Structure 1
Amino acid sequence: MSKILFVCLGNICRSPAAEAIFRSLCPEVETDSAGTSDYHIGEPPYGPMVAAAAARGIAMSDLRARQVRRQDFTAFDLIVVMDDQNRSHVESLRPEGVDTPVVLMAPLAAGWASQEVPDPYYTRDFDGCLDLLEAAARGLQAHLAERG
């Protein structure tokens, strides 16, 4: 699997952080991130998330928000979403006959009970979000390594 898209609502907190974390773990994998909404198109990631990530050595200030598109289903091998609401939105865009997997990020994290990645834009828990995203990114990395 060589191309992964990470998706959240606005593409300024969770999905760009997931992308930045995963690309630091697996630089050989092509990654991108997108939001289901059009609230922040062209904007950089949210400042408090950038600062929390930078404190961990994770660079994400180069990323810019974009909206998920139907063609992402054919451009990517895997789409990883942060919650059920965004998964439903992404699935509503699926072209007929395209079987690109769409999976939740949180269940990839070993030892975490969460099914969704809480949105730190609202919870203000940027470090907790990053903890979960890092664990899930390691889980995704292990899953990809198993598949070869």
Structure 2
Amino acid sequence: MRAKAPHLTVDSAGTAGWHQGKAPDTRARAEGARRGYVYDDLRARQVTRADFERFDVIYAMDHDNLADLRAIADGPARLELFLGDTDVPDPYYDNSFPRMFDLIEARCDALLRG
């Protein structure tokens, strides 16, 4: 997305700090590498109150994370579910990382098209 829209600030953060400071899951990195993504410097971080000031829109991957974001929201950022009314399935337990990437890439392309 950064390559297609360099004027946008894109970031990723979790609503919980379980993996803070760690690199992405090895399966996500492997699937991302197959698609040309580079994760050399990416580390997990937790959402902060400053994010609600820094970003115009904050997308949640599922309804639970959207509820968590709403509970801590402090600022003008608009909160939305990334896929509209559908959760992005968690690939962790069923190893569905290719499907997750497909959904996220398709939605990013749609967002960029307006």
Report deviation, 1:32.
Answer: 1.2
* Residue of structure 2 in register with 1:85 after alignment: 64
**Partner AA of 2:67 in structure 1:** S
Q: In the alignment, which residue of structure 1 is the partner of 2:94?
A: 123
Structure 1 residue 48 corresponds to structure 2 residue 27: yes
More off after superposition, 54-63 vs 66-75: 54-63
Moved over 3 A (4+): none
52, 65, 70: which one aligns with 2:44? 65
Letter in 2 for 1:80: Y
Normalised by the length of structure 1, the TM-score is 0.72
Share of identical aligned residues, percent? 38
CA deviation map 1:22-77 (0-9, x unaligned): 22332221111100111111001111101001101122332110001112100111
C-alpha distance in structure 1 between counterparts of 2:100 and 2:3, whole Å: 17
Q: TM-score normalized by structure 2?
A: 0.91
How many residues matched? 114
In the other structure, the counterpart of 1:105 is: 82
Structure showing the higher helix proportion among its residues: 1
User: Where does structure 1 lack aligned partners over 5 or more consecutive residues?
Assistant: 1-21, 108-113, 144-148
Q: Does 1:138 align with 2:109?
A: yes
Aligned to 1:32: 11
Alignment partners' CA distance in 1, 2:38 and 2:72: 30
Tell me which of the two structures has the higher relative contact order, counting C-alpha pairs closer than 8 angstroms and 6 or more residues apart: 1
